[in-house]
């Protein structure tokens, strides 16, 4: 009789040692790890884009030094008489214009998709960063900021756009109220 075999006739009912099977516990752990990394990557991506600052033009100008070259969103109303086509130094076609909020003006160069509702007198939210040089194509334009800086934008949301209303509905009325400056009565940004 072999030890590994059970022989009921022999009357030996003592427990036999169980040969441990090698389980693959690493497979479920690896799956949990991959899923965990994917969830963290998704959260980081969503929170990273949500962390973009949202400033009105007057706030953005007053905080220009602390914002530096960080990307953020800025709101203002497009000043009538300032919109013109432009080609950037990289040869990319875009549009240059000035926005205002509480009589503070910001020159903007926007490259990328233009919204259908974009027009003078309408509030916009722009995403981009500060550039320490004047905006091209605004020379000789009345009511521009002319402060040696411009906002380089690559994403635009226009008032009456569903996306604009969803992201800043409480600020829409403020943008309209603080919009177009009286260029004759107000000096350029301090």
Residue with more model confidence, 10 or 91: 91
pLDDT of residue 117: 84
Alpha-carbon distances of 3 from 8, 16, 20, 67, rounded to whole Å: 13, 9, 17, 79
Q: How far apart are the first and last CA of the chain?
A: 102
pLDDT digits (tens, 9 = 90+) for 117-147: 888 888 999 999 999 988 877 777 777 888 8
pLDDT of residue 27: 81
pLDDT digits (tens, 9 = 90+) for 46-72: 665 555 567 999 999 999 999 888 999
Mean pLDDT of 148-158: 90
pLDDT of residue 185: 43
> How does 119-156 read in b/e, with b if 16+ C-beta sit within 10 Å?
eeebbbbbbbebeeebbbbbeebebbbbbebbbbbbeb
Helix locations, the chain, DSSP H: 26-50, 57-62, 64-67, 162-177
Q: Which fold has domain 53-177?
A: OB fold (Dihydrolipoamide Acetyltransferase, E2P) (2.40.50)
pLDDT digits (tens, 9 = 90+) for 80-118: 988 888 887 778 888 999 999 988 999 999 998 878 888
Of the ranges 24-33, 75-84, 176-185, the best mean pLDDT one: 75-84
How much is the mean pLDDT over the chain? 77
Element at 130 (helix H, strand E): strand 123-131
> How does 94-108 read in b/e, with b if 16+ C-beta sit within 10 Å?
bbbbbbbbebbbbbb
């Amino acid at each position: 009789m072999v030890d590994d075999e059970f022989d009921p006739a022999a009357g030996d009912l003592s427990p036999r040692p169980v040969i441990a099977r090698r389980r693959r516990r690493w497979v479920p752990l690896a799956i949990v790890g991959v899923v965990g990394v994917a969830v963290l990557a998704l959260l980081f991506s969503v929170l990273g884009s949500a962390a973009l600052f949202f400033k009105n033009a007057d706030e953005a100008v007053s905080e220009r030094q602390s914002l530096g070259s960080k990307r953020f969103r800025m709101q203002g109303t497009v000043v009538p008489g300032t919109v013109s086509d432009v080609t950037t130094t990289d040869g990319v076609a875009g549009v240059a214009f000035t926005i205002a909020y509480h009589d503070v003006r910001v020159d903007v160069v926007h490259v990328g998709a233009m919204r259908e509702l974009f027009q003078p007198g309408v509030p916009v939210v722009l995403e981009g960063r500060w550039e320490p040089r004047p905006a091209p194509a605004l020379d000789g334009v009345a009511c521009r900021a002319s402060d040696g800086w411009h906002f380089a934008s690559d994403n635009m949301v226009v008032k009456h756009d569903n996306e604009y209303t969803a992201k800043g509905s409480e600020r829409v009325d403020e943008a309209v109220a603080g919009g177009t400056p009286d260029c004759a009565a107000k000096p350029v940004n301090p």
